[in-house]
Structure 1
Amino acid sequence: MHALTTVDFLVRLATGVACGALIGVERQWRARMAGLRTNALVATGATLFVLYSVAVDDTGSATRVASYVVSGVGFLGGGVILRNGGGVRGLNTAATLWCSAAVGVLAASGKLAFAVLGTLTILAVHLLLRPAGRLLDRAPAAGSDPDAPVRATLYLVCERREETHIRALLLQSLAVSGLTPTGLRAHRKDEETSSIQAAVEINGDVAPALEQVISRLSLEPGVQELHWHLDEEDAEREPVLA
């Protein structure tokens, strides 16, 4: 293996940073959690780690370092995955960070053309497969009625002294969102807290319909816990990953 020159180092590093930044531009444009700088930094770090192993001229070291980079980025990706109501957010962002690291490893290994091709492929997945995914989301499942209402339950825990106010606010927020509860139950858990459950039927997408209600109630200082879930009979018909 020939010695890594300063020019080679700079060319490979610049390619890794540029490819990561290009991926980040698309993410930033769509206002995702990990945007331009994050993807560029992930690609830069992956490139530098592998460049180090190349610079010390240790046979086989680059492969080992690349495997460590994959593991490390896995922890980083886990930090951007968030639970949001009945769904999960950040899966695409975590996968994109993982891909940015792979692009950096390719650039650091001297496979500059492969790094560019990898970057273009990642961008194509985001730009071309997004409309296809939305079409699949809208496609009704076999044997299901797309116009049938979806039943969901909104659950919250609040301070007992705020129960009356929170219950009234919940009903008001549902009315503002055009939702009518099919059932409402309040239960005093202990001397200081109460739980409230509201069952609703929704025509259309569940998450947008409940988003306004969740956002409004989450601002109340007396609310200690707040989430929603689909009823069991509708769980298979309605996707919960976003």
Structure 2
Amino acid sequence: MLLTEWQMAAHLAAALGLGAVIGLERQWRARMAGLRTNALVAGGAALFVLLSQYGFLSAVSEVNYDGSRVAAQIVSGIGFLGAGVIMRDGMSVRGLNTAATLWCSAAVGCLAGTGLFVLALCGTAGVVGANLLLRPLGRRLDREPRGGAEVATDYRFEAVCLEAEEAHIRHRLVDALGRPGYQLRSIRSQDGPEPGRVTVSALLTAEGEGGRALEEAVSNLSLDPPPAFGRGDPLSRRSAGRSCRSRPADPGSPT
């Protein structure tokens, strides 16, 4: 059954609306791909589906035309778009969930473009529900001990150093904290409390009583200067402007 232009416009509007609903959750969490991006992805997918269905009707009788080929390329195109929101920061990788959400937005747009509104609405509800409900569930499962295993504790390590020391500190952090019984979950850098200084933060999980071993790793890191600096005080590093400390991480610490 051929659709009128107004019916096609309704399909496009539905795709844009459902994509915006998915993007609301991303926008609320201040993610890179938010309201507009998800709406545009869903709307673009719907346009390509409509193009594949009705854009080449005049050529169907002359060539062997398969309209599904255009829609199939949407998956590849969204793959490149999703790769743009995935970033690696040291040991941590960000943007995987946002990329998966964009992929789902494209699928919802394809469903709306073909007129499968009920399925598109169910897909939208599933994506939003997964982002809202599975996030706290996943964090809770990460912190629960498994089958007699020792209780795991999250620790946050912070080192304030000169900008020239940043690469050295990050390298030494991986060496010092990457030991058996520890799981280094993320490491990142940000501007320090004073100009010319950088704060390097690491979040790791230790099984059992790992606080003493962690303090030993912190002391060793503080005592190990880069070649450009002389040795200073064990924990303050006043001569090079470095300070290191570790503490149990807050329950809501980002990963």
**Aligned partner of 1:125 among 124, 130, 139:** 130
**Corresponding position: 1:20 with 2:65:** no
Match of 1:182 in 2: 219
For residues 42 and 155 of structure 1, the distance between their equivalents in structure 2, rounded to whole angstroms, comes to 41
Q: Sequence identity of aligned pairs in percent?
A: 45
Deviations 1:124-143 (A, max 9, x none): 11122222112112213452
The 1:45–1:151 alpha-carbon spacing in structure 2 relative to 1, beyond 3 Å, is: closer
For residues 164 and 127 of structure 2, the distance between their equivalents in structure 1, rounded to whole angstroms, comes to 47
What is the one-letter code of the residue matched to 2:151? D
The 1:157–1:207 alpha-carbon spacing in structure 2 relative to 1, beyond 3 Å, is: farther
- Greater RCO structure (CA 8 Å; 6+ sep): 1
Q: Describe how 1:103-114 pairs up with structure 2 within 5 A.
A: 103-114=108-119
What is the one-letter code of the residue matched to 1:51? L
Structure 2 alignment gaps of length 5 or more: 169-193, 201-213, 229-240
Match of 1:49 in 2: 48
Secondary structure of the residue aligned to 2:115 is coil
For residues 71 and 114 of structure 2, the distance between their equivalents in structure 1, rounded to whole angstroms, comes to 10
For residues 144 and 197 of structure 1, the distance between their equivalents in structure 2, rounded to whole angstroms, comes to 34
Q: Is the 8 A contact 2:160 2:197 kept in 1?
A: no
Q: Give the superposition deviation at 1:106.
A: 0.6
What is the one-letter code of the residue matched to 2:6? V
Q: Is the 8 A contact 1:25 1:35 kept in 2?
A: yes
RMSD of aligned alpha carbons: 4.0
**Corresponding position: 1:97 with 2:134:** no
Match of 1:138 in 2: 143
Q: Give the superposition deviation at 1:199.
A: 7.8
Deviations 1:149-186 (A, max 9, x none): 759797989548xx9xxxxx899969xxxx96322222
* Aligned residue pair count: 196
Q: Give the superposition deviation at 1:205.
A: 6.0
Q: Is the 8 A contact 1:73 1:101 kept in 2?
A: yes
Q: Give the superposition deviation at 1:207.
A: 10
**Corresponding position: 1:84 with 2:84:** no
The 1:50–1:141 alpha-carbon spacing in structure 2 relative to 1, beyond 3 Å, is: same
Q: Describe how 1:64-79 pairs up with structure 2 within 5 A.
A: 64-79=69-84
Q: Normalising by structure 1, report the TM-score.
A: 0.66
The 1:86–1:12 alpha-carbon spacing in structure 2 relative to 1, beyond 3 Å, is: same
For residues 172 and 8 of structure 1, the distance between their equivalents in structure 2, rounded to whole angstroms, comes to 56
For residues 172 and 60 of structure 1, the distance between their equivalents in structure 2, rounded to whole angstroms, comes to 59
Q: Is the 8 A contact 1:150 1:206 kept in 2?
A: no
Q: Normalising by structure 2, report the TM-score.
A: 0.63
Structure number with greater Rg is 2
The 1:110–1:173 alpha-carbon spacing in structure 2 relative to 1, beyond 3 Å, is: closer
Secondary structure of the residue aligned to 1:186 is coil
Match of 2:120 in 1: 115
The 1:133–1:200 alpha-carbon spacing in structure 2 relative to 1, beyond 3 Å, is: same
For residues 93 and 80 of structure 1, the distance between their equivalents in structure 2, rounded to whole angstroms, comes to 7
Structure 1 alignment gaps of length 5 or more: 164-168, 190-195, 212-241
